[in-house]
Amino acid sequence: MSPAETLDLAEFLGDGISQELSTAIHFVAEQLPVAVRFHPVDLSLERRRSESETAYQEAEKAIRKYRVALKYPTTTECESPNKVMRERFDFTVIHRPVCTIPGVKTRFDGKVDLHIVRIAVGGTYEDAGRRIGTEAAVSVRVIERRPSFEAAKFAFELAQKLECGVVSASKYTIQRATDGLFEEVVEDVAKTYPHIPHQAELFDALLAKLVMNAEAYRVIVTPNEYGDFLSDAACGMIGSIGLGASASYSFDGDGIVNLAMFDPAGGTAPDIAGKGLCNPAAALWAFAMLLEHKGYRALGAALADAVRDTISSGQTTGDLGGSLGTMEFTEAVCQAMGARLTGSVKL
Ligand code: ATP
């Protein structure tokens, strides 16, 4: 996608620290050499309690108009806003980068630089199951061709950009019909990218190999629940489950991205909300992913690297042992970003 002069995006405001994260993002956006126009939609719990359908309709209208959205943490009371939006916007793929952050304490001394591409639907998560009498229960596990194709195509496109191979991971020797279908679809997509190495691995073996030799892996594509487990395991390896961003995508019939939503991994952090203490790093990384997706690749990379550099230089918020407030950290990120983009960033 080639970058436009003005970047229009839907902004889904949520609960807790959502407003502070939004303020930090707007501050960074003002430093960019592109005009960013935010189109906010209130998805706070208070609003959803009184007019949830109207709120979701507004969100749908905005994301369909601008094609991209930034979403902040929302409280789940009855419905999960993430689930509602996944269904309404037909998000079938989640992309979760997980990368070592120098300066963040970890038990693992290797380097992680992973892109987990996960089918966002199906697997065991579609069916909560049912009891059979008192001593047994059963659930249905679903693998579908279209989301498998979209995830595989996304993974190969990503690998092409990153100049690396793709590993697909599942339990295809046991779940022969379901994971077998997933691997068959990945294999078909792989044939259309003959220059990109592809290898299928058993998911349990992959977990062990990842811990022993994380550097060997870059892009991994996997069904829904495995992707969920893998994301948390990888985050544990880099020392934090709240310090990352993810993107959710829907596609047109040719596997080209139609809608994209970017959000920080963490929750609403009600205990520190409104105090100016929250760490905006994950939200800033989400914004960086959005910039890259919209074609502002240098800006997105500069912002992502600036967040990483700021943390590794020891300038951090309280959750990482530092003393900076949300906006002090954000200002430090802008300084680091400015140094990387001298002349092209308004500072
Ligand atoms: P939710 O129900 O939205 O998941 P929660 O408080 O149960 O909220 P988190 O929001 O993930 O779960 O918070 C867990 C802990 O991590 C809290 O102590 C919170 O303050 C902290 N935390 C979460 N996000 C951040 C952040 N961005 N910056 C600093 N601390 C955070």
Q: Whose CA is nearest to atom 22 of ligand 1?
A: 269
Cβ atoms 305, 345 nearer than 8 A: no
Distance 270 CA to ligand 1 centre (A): 7
Query: What is the reported pLDDT for 240?
Result: 83
Q: Whose CA is nearest to atom 20 of ligand 1?
A: 269
Indicate if ligand 1 lies below 6 Å from the C-beta of 278: yes
The H or E element that residue 208 is part of is: helix 203-212
Query: What is the reported pLDDT for 342?
Result: 74
Q: Identify the segments of the chain with pLDDT beneath 50.
A: 345-347
Cα 178 from Cα 126, distance rounded (Å): 14
The CATH class of the 1-92+260-347 domain is alpha beta
Cβ atoms 17, 269 nearer than 8 A: yes
| Pocket test residue of 15, 17, 317, 333 for ligand 1, highest count of atoms within 8 A of CB | 17
Indicate if ligand 1 lies below 6 Å from the C-beta of 276: no
Distance 245 CA to ligand 1 centre (A): 14
Indicate if ligand 1 lies below 6 Å from the C-beta of 272: yes
| Pocket test residue of 271, 277, 287 for ligand 1, highest count of atoms within 8 A of CB | 271
Q: Where in the chain is the domain with CATH 3.40.718.10?
A: 1-92+260-347, 106-238
Q: Whose CA is nearest to atom 6 of ligand 1?
A: 269
Query: What is the reported pLDDT for 3?
Result: 61
Distance 318 CA to ligand 1 centre (A): 12
Distance 347 CA to ligand 1 centre (A): 31
Cα 280 from Cα 198, distance rounded (Å): 36
Cα 255 from Cα 209, distance rounded (Å): 31
Indicate if ligand 1 lies below 6 Å from the C-beta of 332: no
Strand partners, 37: 8
Question: Domain 106-238 in CATH: superfamily?
Answer: Isopropylmalate Dehydrogenase (3.40.718.10)
Indicate if ligand 1 lies below 6 Å from the C-beta of 75: yes
Indicate if ligand 1 lies below 6 Å from the C-beta of 330: no
Query: What is the reported pLDDT for 346?
Result: 40
Indicate if ligand 1 lies below 6 Å from the C-beta of 73: yes
| Pocket test residue of 19, 22, 75, 278 for ligand 1, highest count of atoms within 8 A of CB | 278
Cα 329 from Cα 314, distance rounded (Å): 11
Q: b/e map of 304-330 (b: 16 or more CB within 10 Å)?
A: bebbbbbbeeebbbebbebebbbeebb
Spell out the residues 6+ positions from residue 264 whose beta carbon is closer than 8 angstroms to its own. 21, 72, 73, 242, 244, 245, 282, 283, 285, 286
Distance 330 CA to ligand 1 centre (A): 18
Indicate if ligand 1 lies below 6 Å from the C-beta of 319: yes
